[in-house]
Amino acid sequence: MKTNKVYSGSCLEVLKTFPDESIDTCITSPPYWGLRDYGTEGQIWGGDPDCEHDFTSSTRKLHSGSWGEKDNALPHQKNATILNWEVEDKTCGKCGAWKGELGLEPTPEMFISNLCDIFDEIKRVLRPHGSCWVNLGDSYCRNPNSQDQTGKTGIKTMKYNYNFKHKKKFGSVYKAKSLVQIPSRFSIEMTNRGWILRNEIIWHKPSCLPASVQDRYTVNYEKMFFFTKNPKYYFKQQIEETKDLLQRNKRTVWSVNTASFKGAHFATYPPELLESPIDATCPRFVDKITKKPREIVIEKKSMERHELPKDSPNYRPARYDGKYSQGQRYAMYNEIGYDDGRGDDEFEPGVVLDPFFGSGTTAQVAMSQDKDWVGIELNPEYEKISEKRLKPKIIEKKTRDKANEFWDTK
């Protein structure tokens, strides 16, 4: 496996060619369920790999963005949503394999199962200290056979989780207009498959698009899951500054404005959303021989009020006339760096993987932190977009490395 390179193909297949324990952090945003067609030839999911498939085709109507055609839809809603389109399902009559694009599966259960098969491979390629971050949005359940919004029918589920008694009593459809709860179903299946779920991050979008819904609230957040492979993993503590200029361990609701990337025909995530996860879980230095991360030292100091920065509202001079409790202490953090006495040349940069690479936001942030990266992208058209975006950054990094080398040897 080469680093700082985009591999072309379906990530499940490409990942199988990567060696065990070669990645420090995976961070990604997979296709959301039932949202859009990425315009690629479908892949084969499930079934028997040795079967000589015999596919039969059927078509199904999908529509995301049910309000887009209404007269009161805002212009961006008309443009941003794909409305009604037909999806072709190809199912093998012999082994039950399904051929199609990830995200366009007929049921949420099949989508979660295909997606988690990819993350099984990711677990294999992660180093023992590795982490995995997944940004995944939800969908509302829509009536698949009409544009009617009355909510009579929903998406048919697969039967495997339900016994006959359950099906007889409750039926086997999710009701139209209900959230499908894709993120929750995904994180539960991931933990069923052995991942450790350390945090659910709420990505709050202060500048979210207005929606013309009137019978529920406008959703202005998405989830990002933080999984680890093992209970003990690499994590550089993340500190945030509070309004009163104090410091504390970073919290889990992050307000980050959305950022679109010109030229991308799909949702890109904003670089700012990735900065802390990559800083926290991808080591800048990994031992060239043992592949273990170099631990960075962060000192936590407990301070009294008179020791705080003078512009903090909590600062008080040392001889304040007794109005604050004497025992109150405040935490301040200081990044000391590396105290192992070793040279930087004994280490190599950690590697960040994005198996749904899109326009390459992940690589951009990895490079800004002097870390290596690997991308996988199915659509060759999107590769051109990322190449255009990343080339100037790669050149910039090479120039910086050369300059560093020059000053080191002087």
Ligand X SMILES: C[S@@+](CC[C@H](N)C(=O)[O-])C[C@H]1O[C@@H](n2cnc3c(N)ncnc32)[C@H](O)[C@@H]1O
**Residue with smaller CB distance to ligand X, 182 or 303:** 182
**Residue with smaller CB distance to ligand X, 112 or 286:** 112
Q: Using CB under 6 A, pick the residue from 269, 285, 347, 373 that binds ligand X.
A: 269
**Residue with smaller CB distance to ligand X, 48 or 381:** 381
Q: Using CB under 6 A, pick the residue from 18, 254, 266, 373 that binds ligand X.
A: 266
Residue 12 burial by Cβ neighbours in a 10 Å radius (0-12, 13-18, 19+): buried
Structure tokens at 308: 């705080």
**Residue with smaller CB distance to ligand X, 13 or 287:** 13
Q: Using CB under 6 A, pick the residue from 98, 119, 356, 373 that binds ligand X.
A: 356
Footprint on residues 5-44 left by ligand X (CB under 6 A): 10-11, 29, 31, 38, 43
Q: Using CB under 6 A, pick the residue from 256, 361, 383, 390 that binds ligand X.
A: 361
Query: At closest approach, how far in Å is the CB of 89 from ligand X?
Result: 17
N-to-C CA span, the chain: 34
Structure tokens at 179: 């959230």
Structure tokens at 278: 């990559």
Element (H, E) at 11: helix 11-15
Place of tokens 């409790």: 325
Kindly state whether residue 137 participates in binding ligand X, applying the rule CB under 6 A: no
Residue of 253, 234, 244, 252 lying closest to 332 (CA atoms): 244
Using Cβ positions, the residue closest to ligand X within the complex turns out to be 358
Query: At closest approach, how far in Å is the CB of 117 from ligand X?
Result: 11
Q: Using CB under 6 A, pick the residue from 358, 363, 365, 373 that binds ligand X.
A: 358
Query: At closest approach, how far in Å is the CB of 130 from ligand X?
Result: 19
Query: At closest approach, how far in Å is the CB of 258 from ligand X?
Result: 11
Contact 293, 338 (CB under 8 A): no
d(CA 108, CA 179): 11
Structure tokens at 20: 């065990």
Residue of 329, 333, 264, 341 lying closest to 299 (CA atoms): 333
Footprint on residues 372-401 left by ligand X (CB under 6 A): 376-379, 382
Question: Which residue type occupies 101?
Answer: E
Q: Using CB under 6 A, pick the residue from 6, 15, 87, 102 that binds ligand X.
A: 102
Q: Using CB under 6 A, pick the residue from 359, 365, 367, 374 that binds ligand X.
A: 359
Contact 104, 86 (CB under 8 A): no
Query: At closest approach, how far in Å is the CB of 357 from ligand X?
Result: 7
Kindly state whether residue 100 participates in binding ligand X, applying the rule CB under 6 A: no
Kindly state whether residue 111 participates in binding ligand X, applying the rule CB under 6 A: no
The residues, ordered by sequence, that sit 6+ positions from 194 with a Cβ below 8 Å of its Cβ are 123
Measure Cα distances from 87 to 55, 105, 149, 293 in Å.
15, 9, 20, 46
Place of tokens 């409305």: 83
Kindly state whether residue 268 participates in binding ligand X, applying the rule CB under 6 A: yes
Query: At closest approach, how far in Å is the CB of 95 from ligand X?
Result: 20
**Residue with smaller CB distance to ligand X, 195 or 382:** 382
Query: At closest approach, how far in Å is the CB of 36 from ligand X?
Result: 9
d(CA 155, CA 174): 6
- Cross-strand bridge partners of residue 88: 59
Binding interface with ligand X (CB under 6 A)? 10-11, 29, 31, 38, 43, 102, 264, 266-269, 356, 358-359, 361, 376-379, 382
